[in-house]
Amino acid sequence: MLCLLLLLIGLIRVQTDKNSERLRVQITIPEKILSILSGGVESHASYNIMIEGKTYTVNLMQKAFLPHNFRVYGYNGTGSMKPLEQQLQYNHMGSDTIVVTQKIFQLIGLTNAIFTSFNVTIILSSLELWIDENKISVTGDANELLHRFLKWKRSYLVLRPHDIAFLLVYREKSNYVGATFQGKMCDSHYGGGVALHPRTISLESLAVIIAQLLSLSMGIAYDDVNKCQCSGTVCIMNPEAIHSSGVKIFSNCSMEDFAQFISKPKSQCLQNQPHLDPSYKAAVCGNGQVEQGEQCDCGSAEDCDAKSNSCCNPATCALKPGSICDTGKCCTDCQYSAKGEICRPPTDECDLPEYCNGSSATCQDNFFVQNGHPCGENQWLCLNGSCISGIKQCTDVFGEGAEFGPEECYSHLNSKTDQSGNCGSGPSGYIQCKTKDLMCGKLICQYKNEKIIEIPNATAIYANISGHICVALDFPQGFRNGKMMWVKEGTVCGVNKVCRNKECVDAAYLDYDCTPRKCNEQGICNNKKNCHCNPSYLPPNCQTSDDAWIGGSIDSGNFPPVARLASSGNLKVRVNLKSSQKTESIISQVIIFDGQEKWKKQNKNKTKLHAMPDCLGFKPAYYDYDRQEKIEDF
């Protein structure tokens, strides 16, 4: 919006007739050229402008300097963000958060325009306003204030994402305009600066001050006016630039300094994509997001009232008395759902159900059948929770009745190098499928419907091959629906063979190792290679039966009951707790042994013990009764 406004002002043409005192002003209204692409955020925009009967096209590129979740913070004792706005500066700019924020945005926008020639974008990660009091003393000279600010920054801005932090200070009169360390832009200890805003200078001049300080932090020195030149009236790094209006650019000396700085390892922060999500965010009750220190957040009072059975107090973001949860797939009427209740049903024969565990409002992570497991009447294989069925691919694209094409269709069409059949395209055009890869190029289906195929933006290709009506699609290059014209990865293309990157490769890459014996022929393996047992058969290996068990794995959420031991007698359990340095968590190791003298005599030395379900962290172990110690794990 700001760029367009400036452009329009520049295009207003004022002419004076020598023989007349009348002023003629031409006003032109730009006409936006609509993009053929729909959806998403525009990165470029074009306008047609009529001037003196001629049409000119202006192309604009979007340049964003704010993260999508940008926030303005007042200091509340819980943390701070940056750049920082000192209290006097806040009062000088209007003592109103909205007004000050808008002026800061304008300031960063002006500063960004200055750095266009360096192809550097300055992103304002966050803004903090010191409204009630300053957090450090702002008296003293530039050197003292800079060191004081950097000391504060190292203590309070450690977790805030930034390459450099600035403190803006208002002064009625000042002998200096700012301070920073030269060439320390990416230094976590010295990457900072203070900028003075004297009462007499404009926002444009303040942008020049910020630009000069940022340039100094990049190793760019002030210009020697006798040696450094630029095409403008005054160069950016000329000390007089602060008092000059109009467009300013960097000199040849500044260009050389910047090129030298960017070539060194210390400039790494200018050559990466910044992570703009801060590690710490002050909680905001009423924004609908549960943040640190909140038990719940149902939004505004109106939003909470609109929700039936709301368990959250909108004023405090705390749970109402008697409530233990507010949201979640396993939260029912403000209480945890019953253990064993399905919270995520399977969406495919290669997907698995997840259950509530009775002690959390959150459903378990999504688990699915191990990649490579047979599906679709053993004709196809599972991949990432879906049965990669050739038949389903065809019905999804061409509708009910379509079938996966016979080998004759694939051999005939995918051996070509045109839009009807290929294995992709490269710089030289279409890529011909190798003989072994014919089943992994274009998706070719057998079509039995008399209705003409009409798919938006696609070209339908028909071929009568050995009495089969074979069909394929072709989309323009780069079209977002283009994936549907290819055989999916994981589609079976031969015995123990599957498609991968348009090649027919050995299915061993799926790393499928779940034999029927592993799960006692009463279950299948999930993507963590744990057995998902049928009803009445208990994890971890589906060998023990229990009629009350509804089925699942140690990952499903409905944790299985403790396995019964085959031996009789009283049981003693000793728990040894030891800490692990790697995970800094407590690991439980349980050794189970029978207290009956008769059982000891039959097993004089080493006795293999029954394993508890390993979902609880228990392992099988050997126990030596003579030495009264555990000997080894296996």
Looking at residue 628, its pLDDT comes to 39
Residues 173 and 51 in one domain: no
Residues 44 and 136 in one domain: no
What is the rounded average pLDDT of the residues 357-368? Answer: 92
Residues 98 and 30 in one domain: no
Residues 54 and 84 in one domain: no
**217, 193 in Cβ contact below 8 A?**
yes
Looking at residue 43, its pLDDT comes to 53
Q: Round to whole Å and give the CA distance between 266 and 288.
A: 41
Determine which of 97-106, 285-294, 326-335, 367-376 has the lowest per-residue pLDDT on average. 97-106
Residue 369 lies in a domain: no
Residue 95 lies in a domain: yes
Residues 57 and 76 in one domain: no
Residues 119 and 229 in one domain: yes
**142, 84 in Cβ contact below 8 A?**
no
Looking at residue 253, its pLDDT comes to 94
Q: Any idea which residue has 């299948």 for tokens?
A: 524
Residue 389: pLDDT band by 50, 70, 90 thresholds? very high
Looking at residue 164, its pLDDT comes to 83
Highest mean pLDDT among 9-18, 125-134, 232-241, 604-613: 232-241
Looking at residue 601, its pLDDT comes to 33
- Indicate the pairing of strand 445-446 with strand 468-474: antiparallel
**364, 348 in Cβ contact below 8 A?**
no
What is the rounded average pLDDT of the residues 160-168? Answer: 78
pLDDT tens, residue by residue, 571-609: 333 333 333 333 232 222 232 223 333 333 333 333 333
Count of domains forming the chain: 4
Looking at residue 271, its pLDDT comes to 74
Between the CA of residue 491 and those of 162, 391, 590, what are the distances in Å?
46, 10, 45
Residue 386: pLDDT band by 50, 70, 90 thresholds? very high
Q: Round to whole Å and give the CA distance between 85 and 169.
A: 7
Q: Round to whole Å and give the CA distance between 225 and 251.
A: 10
**557, 549 in Cβ contact below 8 A?**
no
Residues 216 and 120 in one domain: yes
| pLDDT above 70: percentage of residues in the chain | 69
Please indicate whether residue 89 or residue 156 has the higher confidence score (pLDDT). 156
Residues 47 and 166 in one domain: no
Residue 179 lies in a domain: yes
Residue 115 lies in a domain: yes
What is the rounded average pLDDT of the residues 132-138? Answer: 76
What is the rounded average pLDDT of the residues 44-60? Answer: 59
Residue 395 lies in a domain: yes
pLDDT tens, residue by residue, 396-452: 999 988 999 999 999 999 999 898 899 998 888 899 999 999 999 999 999 988 788
What is the rounded average pLDDT of the residues 152-174? Answer: 74
**13, 27 in Cβ contact below 8 A?**
no
Residue 6: pLDDT band by 50, 70, 90 thresholds? very low
Helix (H), strand (E) at residue 337: none
pLDDT tens, residue by residue, 279-327: 445 677 888 888 878 899 888 888 888 876 689 998 899 999 999 999 8
Between the CA of residue 167 and those of 60, 146, 229, 240, what are the distances in Å?
32, 9, 31, 23
Looking at residue 31, its pLDDT comes to 62
Tokens found for residue 284:
């905001």
Query: Vertex 577, ends 572 and 582: CA angle to 5°?
Result: 145
Residues 454 and 475 in one domain: yes
Residues 259 and 211 in one domain: yes
Task: Please say if the pLDDT value at position 506 is more than 90.
Answer: yes
Boundary (domain end) residue, out of 61, 90, 112: 61
Angle subtended by helix axes 97-114 and 203-217, to nearest 10: 60
Beta-carbon count within 10 A of 358 CB = 15
Tokens found for residue 527:
């993507």
| pLDDT above 90: percentage of residues in the chain | 33
Average pLDDT of the chain is 74
Boundary (domain end) residue, out of 24, 42, 61: 61
Q: Round to whole Å and give the CA distance between 505 and 439.
A: 11
Looking at residue 570, its pLDDT comes to 36
**Domain coverage including residue 427:** 374-510
Residues 207 and 263 in one domain: yes
Which residues, 6+ apart, have CB-to-CB distance to 376 below 8 Å?
Answer: 349, 387, 389, 391, 392
Tokens found for residue 1:
């919006």
Residues listed for the chain: 634
Residues 259 and 208 in one domain: yes
What is the rounded average pLDDT of the residues 341-359? Answer: 94
Residue 139 lies in a domain: yes
Looking at residue 446, its pLDDT comes to 94
pLDDT tens, residue by residue, 448-486: 887 888 888 888 999 999 889 999 999 887 677 788 999
Boundary (domain end) residue, out of 61, 80, 106: 61
> What's the distance, CA 524 to chain centroid?
32
Please indicate whether residue 479 or residue 564 has the higher confidence score (pLDDT). 479
pLDDT tens, residue by residue, 525-547: 999 999 999 999 999 999 998 88
Residue 544 lies in a domain: no
Residue 582 lies in a domain: yes
Beta-carbon count within 10 A of 269 CB = 15
Please indicate whether residue 363 or residue 168 has the higher confidence score (pLDDT). 363
Residue 137: pLDDT band by 50, 70, 90 thresholds? confident
